[in-house]
């Protein structure tokens, strides 16, 4: 059923970190300045973490011109979390997989999680944020109607391969695949792109972690589905090939009936 045109709430799309980020708040009466603060949070994360900005903490750490103890506190926190994720994924998620320090695979989701916290603090309870393929939702799209998240079909741009219904307490969803930017994810053990898998989608409580897990699973190639069943509160959907989709029990519960 098509919805009527949505008249209330707030909606804006901006480019942050070179990707489009959209915020869609469905609550009425939220101060529009909350959107400004949420986007400011995302831009600040870009300044600290961008591997493309010569003045970012990450670039200076990589170049050795910034000592780790002198980095911003949030940079130290993020790099510590990335290190824990590297261990939790057996090295498959590695911010140095390309030989350069690049925590973007975690930072994008982590920054969106922070922007959602900003919006919550402003009173928003029903919202959706997308950031270049990452998704974080909270509450409902309309009273009693859950957010519906499409999983991009890896071969057909205009279609989705699955639809997830988010629980009202929120959901973070990240997808890794080579169909948008080519083979940018490499198996840290071979330095080569993975094979045997088209995309991995991970859903759970936090977007940064979901992003890291999706990246790690995609790098594993055809071993991804088995590993994704070990991720506790994070559910996964792996598309091995058109017509060959594997989902964990948690993902089955999210998939629309």
Number of H helices, E strands in the chain: 7, 12
At 248, give phi and psi (nearest 5°). -80, 165
Please count the residues of this chain forming the interface with other proteins, following the rule CB under 8 A: 65
179 near other proteins, rule: CB under 8 A: yes
- Residue window 100-139: x/- pattern of binding to other proteins, with contact defined by CB under 8 A: --------x-------------------x-x-xxxx-x--
Using CB under 8 A, which of 65, 190, 195, 230 touches other proteins?
A: 230
**Distance in Å, CB of 193 to other proteins, minimum:** 13
> What does 165-193 look like in DSSP terms, one character per residue?
E--TT-EEEEEEESTTTSS----TTTSS-
The reply to whether 189 sits near other proteins by the rule CB under 8 A is no
Nearer to other proteins, 71 or 203 (CB): 203
Which of these segments, 14-22, 27-35, 74-82, 186-194, binds other proteins (CB under 8 A)?
A: 14-22
What is the DSSP secondary-structure string of 101-144?
A: --THHHHHHHHHHHHHHHHHHTT--SEEEEETTEEEEESEEETT
CA angle, residues 50, 227, 215, in degrees to nearest 5: 15
> Any contact of residue 6 with other proteins (CB under 8 A)?
yes
Q: Does residue 20 contact residue 135 with C-beta atoms inside 8 Å?
A: no
d(CA 179, CA 23): 24
Q: Which residues form the interface with other proteins (CB under 8 A)?
A: 1-2, 5-7, 11, 13, 15, 18-20, 22, 24, 108, 128, 130, 132-135, 137, 141, 147-154, 156-163, 173-181, 199, 201, 225-230, 239, 242-249, 252
């Amino acid at each position: 059923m098509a919805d009527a045109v949505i008249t209330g709430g707030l909606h804006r799309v901006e480019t942050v970190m070179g990707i489009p980020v959209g915020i869609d708040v469905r609550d009425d009466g939220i101060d529009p300045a909350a959107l400004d603060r949420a986007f400011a949070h995302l831009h600040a994360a870009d300044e600290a973490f961008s591997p493309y900005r010569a003045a970012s903490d990450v670039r200076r750490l990589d170049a050795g011109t910034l000592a780790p103890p002198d980095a911003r506190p949030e940079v130290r926190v993020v790099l510590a979390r990335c290190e824990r994720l590297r261990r939790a994924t057996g090295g498959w998620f590695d911010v140095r997989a390309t030989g350069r320090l690049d925590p973007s695979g975690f930072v994008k989701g982590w920054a969106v999680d922070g922007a959602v916290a900003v919006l919550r603090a402003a009173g928003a309870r029903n919202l959706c944020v997308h950031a270049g393929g990452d998704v974080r939702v909270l509450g409902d799209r309309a009273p009693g109607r859950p957010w519906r998240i499409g999983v991009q079909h890896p071969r057909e741009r205009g279609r989705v391969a699955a639809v997830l219904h988010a629980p009202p307490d929120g959901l973070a969803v990240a997808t890794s695949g080579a169909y948008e930017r080519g083979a940018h994810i490499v198996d840290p053990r071979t330095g080569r792109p993975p094979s045997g898998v088209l995309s991995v989608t991970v859903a759970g409580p936090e977007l940064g972690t979901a992003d890291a897990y999706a990246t790690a699973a995609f790098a594993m190639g055809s071993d991804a589905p088995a590993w994704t069943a070990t991720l506790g509160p994070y559910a996964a959907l792996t598309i091995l090939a058109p017509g060959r989709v594997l989902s964990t029990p948690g993902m089955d519960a999210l998939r629309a009936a």
